[in-house]
């Protein structure tokens, strides 16, 4: 299906502690300062179903990679239907913290779910909705983990370094296959440097100019 809407869909991906949520908020603030309507939302979450699924996924001890795949997808369906699609139709810039690429990297590359199955489930869940731009905040997990707060680690954060290295390699493989969609950034640089690079890419793409008026 091909979509037509006045909004712009931007996805930010990366391993834990790569600075995704900070960069999402900085991008939103920049857009808002220019009076461009923008929202930030995250996966899993952003809806009642999504937040419940997030809770299960963080704690559920009897979940395997397949049930994770379906739960992340169920949360995604709710978020698309209730938030993302309506905002894109309203003309907003939707900044999403994690999307289908997290499923490919975590459940696929790191946990070994079949890639063809993941691609079909992602396609069904999203009706093949692709972002206009995607950013990979790339950083070695060994470095990014030092930035994490001392909150109780969830199931994913408890995985060992080799798991997170597989996630990182998965992301790099996904992003390097589509240079029109993806910008890979060195997330060990300062917050402001990363933000400037994101902003430069956003303004140099046609996406925002087209949605401004």
User: What's the min distance (Å) between Cβ of 211 and ligand TYD?
Assistant: 25
Binding site for ligand TYD (CB under 6 A): 16, 43-44, 72, 98, 102-103, 106-107, 154, 156
User: What's the min distance (Å) between Cβ of 82 and ligand TYD?
Assistant: 16
Site of tokens 């109780």: 152
Closer CB to ligand TYD, residue 170 or residue 211? Answer: 170
User: What's the min distance (Å) between Cβ of 43 and ligand TYD?
Assistant: 4
**Residues 172, 136 contacting (CB under 8 angstroms):** yes
Residue 118: half-sphere exposure toward Cβ, Cα within 13 Å: 22
User: DSSP characters for 112-173?
Assistant: ---HHHHHHHHHHHHTT---SEEEEEE--HHHHGGGS-SSPP-TTTTS-HHHHHHHHHHHHH
Closer CB to ligand TYD, residue 100 or residue 208? Answer: 100
User: What's the min distance (Å) between Cβ of 15 and ligand TYD?
Assistant: 7
User: DSSP characters for 63-88?
Assistant: --HHHHHHHHHHHHHHHIIIIIHHHH
């Amino acid at each position: 299906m091909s979509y037509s809407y006045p909004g712009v869909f931007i996805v930010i991906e990366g391993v834990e502690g790569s600075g995704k949520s900070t960069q999402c908020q900085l991008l939103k603030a920049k857009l808002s300062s220019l009076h461009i309507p923008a929202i930030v939302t995250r996966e899993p979450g952003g809806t009642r179903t999504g937040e419940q699924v997030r809770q299960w996924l963080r704690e559920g001890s009897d979940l395997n990679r397949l049930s994770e795949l379906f739960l992340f997808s169920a949360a995604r369906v709710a978020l698309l239907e209730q938030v993302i699609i309506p905002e894109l139709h309203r003309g907003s810039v939707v900044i999403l913290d994690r999307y289908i690429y997290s499923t490919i990297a975590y459940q696929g590359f790191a946990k070994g779910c079949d890639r063809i199955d993941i691609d079909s489930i992602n396609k069904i869940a999203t009706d093949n909705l692709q972002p206009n731009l995607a950013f990979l905040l790339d950083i070695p997990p060994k470095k990014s983990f030092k930035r994490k707060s001392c909150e109780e680690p969830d199931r994913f954060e408890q995985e060992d370094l080799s798991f997170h290295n597989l996630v990182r390699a998965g992301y790099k493989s996904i992003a390097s296959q589509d240079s029109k969609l993806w910008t890979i950034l060195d997330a060990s640089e300062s917050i402001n440097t990363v933000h400037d690079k994101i902003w430069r890419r956003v303004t140099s793409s046609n996406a925002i100019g087209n949605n401004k008026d």
